[in-house]
Structure formats: structure tokens, C-alpha cells
Structure 1
């Protein structure tokens, strides 16, 4: 039985007329999109070191996937108060996580702007890439410009310098070229990539009743679909030899399934409730078009002002100044 969905306070930062809602409400985003995001993030040595240090993926991959989806969904689809609270809470948690990457020898800080930028951009690029491959198709030129503009707005929920955020696909490609030499294919990165690929969303593929017998097939399909979106070097890193024929096959099968699911929001919400209960609480109002108490969008700055908190980058710079640590 589906839980009661509470009306949000407002439309959040972007609202139903945004390209962000258009892309993120698609079931491609909540499935292959976030699996690809989480997997790709693991090749930044400091990001994977901080994740490995907590042991969260090794011990509870599905729970971490649910929490990550909850957080990302809160920022783009939930009301402004929920979004600001989620970003502020995660930043406070990150301030307590420190350590040293055994591969590079560098100290890691989950709030570091460079790492935050990598996480933010891999998410927005991955979600869009999967949306266009398995969902409705390529964005129009106008929607594409708006999407990357909204990506820059969303970056304010993190410690990122707004000047570093790409404003187009071309700038996004240039960013990837710049950071590629710094990515590391370590044993830890590969291990965590496999943990995500094989176990992050198992609950999502469990079908009810007699259909349960084909659940492994659904899991195989989503796994292969995720690999189909990866660049060649990343496939090699995880030991996959999947080629263009399988890529084309899973795309042909999954695309109509995703388009059908997009036309069944109640079914999508119900599945999300059983597979990712934490994410369901913040995503369901947007998926089901539940009207907010006040039908307005709110800027990130206003959301934090109402919460009585500085923006994350302002908090980060203040903490760096107080500790005498150079800020980036």
C-alpha cells in the first residue's frame, strides 16, 4: 500500500517548468543514471578514499544508494526547505570525515571544492546522458542551454566556486579532459565500482509475485545498460568486454520500457517506495505532481536565508579562514 504523500512547501529551486525536472523526473535518472553517477565518481582517488574510509559501500551498498538518491533528489525536486536542510546536513557530516588516501598519499576532505565539483558534474552529465540514451532523446538546443544553466544554480548547494561550473556540453567535455590525468584506476576504485554495479539497486529490480522469477534478468539488463554508457577506458578498468552489439541490444530493449514507466507515475512511485524508501519521501511529490502549499520557486540563496544558514561555500571559506587552511 502506497504511503501518504505530504504536500511540499513550494516547488523548490527549479519547479515543474524547468528542464531539470523534465530530466530528473524521468525513470532513467533514478535507475541507470544514478548507478552510472556513483560508479564514475569512484575514479577520483580522494572521493573513493573518503567513501572507502567509511565502509558504507562494502557494508550497506543498497542503503548508501538510497541515501544518495534521497540527497540528490532533495536538491533538485524537493521543496526549498528540504533541499537546504539536506545540503547543510551533509556538509556538517563531511566536516567530521578526514583521512589520507593510501594510493596518492594526499589528505582528503569531502567538502573540498574540487571533489565536490567532480561529484556534482558527474551526476548532471550522467543523468543527462542516460536520459538521452534510454529516455525521450536528445534535448533541444534551448533546453540544453537551460539545463547547464540550472546545473550551475544547483552547484550552490555545495562548496563549489560558481566560476568553475561548465555552462555547456563543450565546457563539460573540456572539464573531463582537464581532470582525466588525475583520475586513478586503483584496486579500491575498481572494487567500489563493482559494488555499485552489482549491488546498489538490487531492490529496484525485485518484481512482485510470479514475476519475481525474471528479477535476475532485469538486474542483468540494468547492469548492462549502465556499462553501455561508460567510456572505453572505464569499461577496461572494471574488466568489462561488453561491445557495441550488446550496447545496441540493451538500448533497444530498455528505451521502450523506460518510456512506458515514465507514463506510469503511480507505478514508478510505488516501486521507488519499496526499493528506496528514503528517496521516496522526497521524490514522490514531484513524481506524482502533488501541489505545493505555495506554488513558487525559491532561489538557493533564499532557501538558506530562510534556514538561517550561510551558503555551503560561504561556510567552507569561513571554516578555512578560522583554521588557517588555504581555501580553494
Structure 2
């Protein structure tokens, strides 16, 4: 049965390729054929076998990085430290894998990147879980900070990121033609500035209370993120969360006071109703504000970049 099916499919493929060679355009497909081809492509093994996911160890890498950022965010920039970017990766056996990179003020390139965290062939690792991809990005950044004197090197149960052959980590960003931004210098005594896990310390406790989400101590609270974005946009102290009781016991309504910043956002954004618990109201409001504020911050950063005076080469 299988052999007969293979021959039938092989003959059909040969006919499709012959059509495309003769006509110089894609061979016609029915909707059923297109759907079946998409399903088949999704479950076939990749042409180039993927390398295994890097080890993450037991450390709470995201918490360590965010605690360091909270204590050492000394120089404002268009790309503040701790900005994570997730991107879809390859589809392997029908499962979508994920890439994630993080930018920090101390380095011009994201992690994983040219100075740490790539596979030996220069490709970026991908993960079946977004959360693991984010942990790995934070791990690469923390290890680079430790190697370059910004924080204490951590002695934790983990495997170092795979090196990039022929290119050792460079502590300073490459010279650029445009005006260089002031970068924070390593602390005089790295031992005093770096958080490090103690032998019997719960890794979850490495994420400070003001940063951790109410619902998941290993995730960053959207409240912390929107407050940081408002500060970056020039509105420190916002948003102010306005919470009122709902008609149902234990449930609350809420909305954000954004001051003059509200004129730059869609009307009524962040207004929520009948949310159980006051803390949950604040997180729900912040979740709705997060994406619009990120877009504003990106636009603001691009405008600042274009306004910078250029130094002739």
C-alpha cells in the first residue's frame, strides 16, 4: 500500500515539476492538494537536523537579570536593558519552535548573538517553549555581564552557551559612524553590585516583589513593564491605577490615569470590569496597555535616532 502511494505521489510530483519547467510558473493546485501538502510539510523532518536545545540549568536567569537591571539602570537609552523580543522559529514535526533575544544597555548587540549564545555554526537556538527561549536569552546576557565585570560571575548548576568559533566575546561594541551613546561602565567593585543565588535560596525569590507577576513569580509583572515604558516615554509615575468596587462582592472595576499620555493612546484603553481581586485588576489594566505603549516607545526611539546629529566618516 505504502509503496503504491509513494509511486503515485512521485509521478504526480514529476508532472508538477515538468509543468513548471515548461510554463515558468507554479503548477496549479486544488485546495485539497494545497492543504495536504501543508500538512505533509509540517510533519516531515527538517532538511538539516536541528541541534538539541541548550541546557538552561536550575538558575532563575530572568529574575537575576531583572534584579540587576532594576539596581543598575543608570543611563537612559533608546533601548533600555531587559527588552525581550520573541520570534517564531522553525516548525519541527508539526511543532512551532521559538527564538528569543534580549537587549541590555551594556552591549550594542542582543543576546543570544555574535558575542554569546549562538550554535557553533552561527545559528540561533530555538525552543519548543517560549518561556525556555526567554530564559536562555537572559542566561546569555547574565553570563556576558559576569564575564565582562559588570556583575559577579555566578556559580550555578548550568552549562555555558555554545561558543562561536573564531570570535571571542568582545566587551565593547564595535565603532559606529553615528554619535556614540554613553554606556555604563563596570562597577569598581563587581562583588557589591551583582545578585547571586545562595546555596539554599529559592530561585523564585530572585525576582523582586515589585517586578514579579501576581500570578506567576517567574514572570515579569505587566504593571512593572508599563510603568517602565511610561518612564521611558517621559511620564514617570504613570499609570495611576483607579480601582472601584463592582456590584459583585470581591470583584472590581478599574481604569488607568495616564495624564497627558492618554492623548496618544486609543480612547477607553485599559478600562476593565468585574475582575476578581484588586491586584488582578491592576495586572489586567496593565496587560491591555502593554502593546500600545511598546509601539509608542518604538516610534519614540526611532524618532530620537533620526534626530541624532551624524558625524561625517
TM-score, normalised to structure 1, is 0.24
TM-score, normalised to structure 2, is 0.25
Q: RCO (CA 8 Å, sep 6+): is it higher in 1 or 2?
A: 1
User: More helix per residue: 1 or 2?
Assistant: 1
User: More strand per residue: 1 or 2?
Assistant: 2
